[in-house]
């Protein structure tokens, strides 16, 4: 409780202004981080804000990539309201993501993180891309194993309220994450309570927790599809998820592919991850793959090396 109170009372820096939007579709925007060369579009999850990829000064994958000669762009999904209740995950790909990708003058490389990786695979199957990278992405949802039962129970309890609201509040999803390892949630706040309030470690903890505890709700249909069609029925893993009227089959992709998979991931178990092209297995946490102390050596640098080694395209 001391650690939780310290987190609530911690000082926060002023938020940085968002990067300019160069395309939009509905409430979603495509933000340009600068740099030169082939566009590399980062697709975050619908769960939690996209800013984990640009978390804080000195800990931003996107800004670091610019200095490595990459031109990163970021999908910002915006905030759905009740009027978006019928937009499932498929609709996010078809109506929001693909139209923005079509505005680019060159085929992009897609880099998808978490559920964004699932969506990136679908977008790569439905459009011309120069490459595909998945980071901690689920595809074979049956790989969640015993955790599926507790997720189904959570959805059974929350579904009537979510249907009435037209959205799935972030609190519902956060409760599911906490159930994966309740002791860890308590332990991290206990550790935080012993940190010097103005230390770099304390600032990093606050930035990450603010991201983890924030975020827009999911459109109701997206939550329903995630729980019913993906986690329960495993339509992607069985080759039965259709985008653009065609089944999405990652094994048929012709573009260069790279997959980062964590063997210790609690959010996306390694058994659920797609193994596409060049597969890199790591022993690092789900969020740690993007912002952890070992992320730069284990993910950022290998990603930059792979991107800059791709053959040029017209």
Q: Give pTM, 2 decimals.
A: 0.93
Confidence of residue 80 (pLDDT cuts 50, 70, 90): very high
Q: Which residue has the higher pLDDT, 112 or 210?
A: 112
| pLDDT tens-digit series, residues 232-274 | 999 999 999 999 999 999 999 999 999 999 999 989 999 999 9
Q: Categorize the per-residue pLDDT at 179 as very low, low, confident or very high, splitting at 50, 70 and 90.
A: low
Residues 103-136: tens digit of each pLDDT: 999 999 999 999 999 999 999 999 999 999 999 9
Decide if pLDDT at 16 tops 70.
yes
Q: What is the mean pLDDT of the chain?
A: 93
**What are the structure tokens assigned to 286, written together?**
């789900």
Q: Measured between alpha carbons, how far is 287 from 291 in angstroms, rounded to an integer?
A: 6
The DSSP annotation for 31-76 comes to EE---SSSEEEEE--SSS-GGGGG-BTTB-HHHHHHHTT-EEEEEE
Would you state the pLDDT for residue 166? 95
**Per-residue pLDDT for 313 more than 70?**
no
- Residue 281 above 90 pLDDT? yes
Give me 124's structure tokens: 């790569």
- What is the number of other CB atoms lying within 10 angstroms of the CB of residue 87? 22
- pLDDT, position 180: 65
């Amino acid at each position: 409780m001391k650690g939780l109170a310290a987190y609530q009372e911690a000082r926060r820096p002023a938020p940085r202004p968002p990067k300019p939007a160069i395309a939009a579709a509905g409430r979603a925007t495509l933000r340009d981080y600068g740099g030169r060369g082939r566009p590399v579009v980062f697709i975050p999850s619908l769960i939690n804000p996209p800013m984990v990829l640009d978390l804080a000064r000195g800990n931003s994958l996107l800004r670091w990539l610019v200095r490595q000669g990459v031109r990163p762009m970021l999908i910002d999904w915006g905030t759905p309201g009740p009027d978006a209740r019928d937009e499932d995950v498929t609709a996010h790909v078809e109506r929001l993501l693909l139209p923005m990708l079509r505005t680019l003058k060159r085929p992009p490389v897609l880099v998808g993180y978490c559920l964004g990786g699932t969506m990136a695979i679908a977008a790569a199957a439905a459009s011309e891309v120069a490459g595909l990278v998945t980071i901690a992405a689920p595809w074979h949802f049956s790989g969640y194993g015993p955790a599926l039962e507790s997720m189904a129970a959570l959805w059974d309890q929350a579904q009537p309220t979510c249907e009435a609201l037209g959205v799935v509040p972030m609190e519902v999803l956060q409760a599911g994450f906490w159930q994966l390892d309740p002791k860890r949630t308590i332990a991290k706040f206990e550790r935080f309570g012993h940190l010097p309030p103005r230390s770099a470690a304390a600032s990093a903890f606050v930035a990450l927790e603010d991201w983890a505890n924030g975020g827009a709700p999911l459109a109701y249909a997206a939550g329903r599809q995630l729980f019913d069609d993906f986690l329960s029925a495993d339509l992607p893993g069985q080759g039965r998820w259709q985008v653009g009227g065609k089944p999405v089959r990652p094994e048929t992709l012709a573009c260069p592919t790279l997959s980062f998979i964590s063997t210790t991931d609690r959010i996306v178990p390694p058994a659920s991850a797609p193994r596409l092209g060049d597969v890199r297995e790591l022993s690092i946490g789900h969020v740690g793959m993007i912002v952890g102390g070992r992320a730069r050596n284990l993910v950022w640098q290998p990603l930059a090396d792979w991107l800059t080694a791709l053959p040029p395209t017209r």
